[in-house]
Amino acid sequence: MAMVTETLRLKEPGLLTSTAVARMLGISTTTLRRLEGKLFEPAPRQGNRKV
């Protein structure tokens, strides 16, 4: 339930989740994360997970 609440909170101001971006690009989230910093600037992180 917390993940749904967090996702809805991000969508309100027009932000996208990594899953949504990967689907739009037609790639997996793993590939998106691997390419981050190589093809485009790393996105700022939202949330309270310290991973």
Domain count, the chain: 1
Structural domain contains residue 14: yes
Model pLDDT, residue 28: 93
Least Cα distance to 43 among 19, 8, 12, 9 occurs for 19
Structural domain contains residue 42: no
Model pLDDT, residue 47: 65
| pTM attached to this predicted model | 0.55
Structural domain contains residue 45: no
Structural domain contains residue 10: yes
Domain encompassing residue 13: 6-35
Structural domain contains residue 28: yes
Residue 20 or residue 42, greater confidence? 20
Residue 41 backbone dihedrals phi, psi, to 5 degrees = -65, 140
Structural domain contains residue 49: no
Structural domain contains residue 19: yes
Flag whether pLDDT at 38 surpasses 90: no
